[in-house]
A and B are shown apart, each in its own frame.
Chain A
């Protein structure tokens, strides 16, 4: 099946190209859009591995929600005011260090799995459901890890709210409960008027 390999290299090229563009383009909005493109290409590569659940969740969470909020913030910045100091070269050493650490981590993960040099996995048998297989593993073999990850996320949510939520004096807000509780009779008074303007 040469077509699968062509598609794989196509998506990999787009992925690497867009990932490089994220750090090299000057405009932060363009950088965020390139990040979206690289997430999307990664999802497509996962689809080639028949990991459809993971691919769709990657698009749903990162492309559909996280990056929308990223763009939301970046678009409100004044682009000309936030030109990075020193440009690309100033951040290069730190970036290279992070990249090196990540490369070592990935190498260790793959190395412990026995370095299988396999380009494409064997096609799954008919009727194999990747989605239900992940669900089964998550809720049986890896239940504790899954629950711990969930608790960590919950703590992060609560911490984020606790850090940013503060009552500032002087802000004006409406109490929806009060708005809902109003009665028509308290607000509206129907008045019968005679034609000459006398209230009767």
Chain B
């Protein structure tokens, strides 16, 4: 019994060691977003709170926490308060199977990739329930849009991942990264280039970010599913959205850019220095690149029209992925890639 209790305490400690850095990362992701978009629009972004505005995220958090949570009349009270939790829980749970390094993973489970896919698809419940429970037509429309979009892009995303599974021969995320070992050219972005692009675009669509952010299209439906949310309940939705964005970025780095593997792997000059050897710093760097892409997209592209989103998902991405899965199978049979 004591032994089981110790295991429990140790596991909870490990979970905190993942969740706390993610929360901090989300806080600074919002700061980074405002800075990056600011400079892209020839502004400076936040620069008043603390040096270079670095304390701005904390100021925002405290502002949110001290605000009142307003529950609309005739709202379904329990579901209204449950929805933000349902949005955040899968976004954080999925990190349980993400390997940060060769050995640094909370749960090295066999079907890790499926686990992540299942959990990212569950995040839509928070949005859907929040939209319905608000008793507001804008919120309901936002929730419905989000649900339709997530379900559509999940198929393209799943097919893109099938290509990765074909080449690596495993559903275990650590195994997938190890299968890419070699050099930059043996990472899966090269043989699976169309799937790589489709995966990331579907990821942007699935997290409801620009240019696919019709779920909160302010020009038509005020703020979409979180129109009625305020205070810390709104902050939790925000936290979930950004945690999901970092998760999608981390997955793109793991599945297509070799995770923690070094791009200079095998170069005799560098050997086992921190440049040559794989490590968590490479993983974080690659993840940060994809996070930056999210912000770049937001500052660059105008919002897609709803029917264009559906067309892109169903009529463009899904056929391409199906064709490329067969190409990946061919690579495997010819022995060019994969174990």
**A→B interface (CB under 8 Å):** 3, 29, 33, 36, 52-53, 56-57, 59-60, 63-65, 68-69, 71-72, 75-76, 129-131, 174, 176
Contacts and interface: CB of A to CB of B under 8 A. Distances in A.
Contacts of B140: 75
A71 B147 CA distance: 9
B273 interface: no
Contact of B111 (A52, A68, A69, A75): A52
Contacts of B132: 29, 71, 75
Contacts of A33: 79, 129
Contacts of A36: 125
Which of B4, B109, B118, B125 lies at the interface centre, i.e. has the most chain A CB atoms within 10 A of its CB? Answer: B118
Contact of B128 (A3, A53, A68, A131): A68
17 contacts: A3-B4, A29-B132, A33-B129, A52-B110, A52-B111, A53-B114, A56-B115, A60-B121, A64-B118, A65-B154, A68-B125, A71-B132, A72-B147, A75-B143, A76-B144, A130-B110, A176-B311
B124 interface: yes
Nearest to B114: A56
B59 to A, nearest CB: 36
Interface residues of B, number: 28
A174 B307 contact: yes
A174 B125 CA distance: 32
A3 B79 CA distance: 31
A7 to B, nearest CB: 12
Nearest to A67: B125
B148 interface: yes
Nearest to A2: B1
A81 to B, nearest CB: 16
Contacts of A176: 308, 311
Nearest to A36: B125
Contacts of A29: 132
Dominant secondary structure at the B interface: helix
Given A63-B122, A176-B311, A131 B110 contact: yes
A191 B128 CA distance: 50
Contacts of B109: 52
Contacts of B308: 176
Contacts of A65: 121, 151, 154
A15 to B, nearest CB: 18
Nearest to A73: B144
B125 A59 contact: no
A69 B148 CA distance: 8
Contacts of B110: 52-53, 129-131
Nearest to A58: B118
Contacts of A76: 144
Contacts of A174: 307
A36 B79 CA distance: 14
Nearest to A60: B118
Interface string B102-127: 00000001110011011001101100
A56 B171 CA distance: 12
Nearest to A76: B144
B4 to A, nearest CB: 6
Given A60-B118, A129-B110, A131-B171, 18 more contacts: A33-B79, A52-B110, A53-B111, A56-B115, A56-B118, A57-B118, A64-B118, A64-B122, A65-B154, A68-B124, A68-B128, A68-B150, A71-B128, A71-B147, A72-B144, A75-B132, A75-B143, A174-B307
B122 A56 contact: no
Which of A29, A33, A68 lies at the interface centre, i.e. has the most chain B CB atoms within 10 A of its CB? Answer: A68
Contact of B118 (A59, A72, A130): A59
Contacts of A57: 114, 118
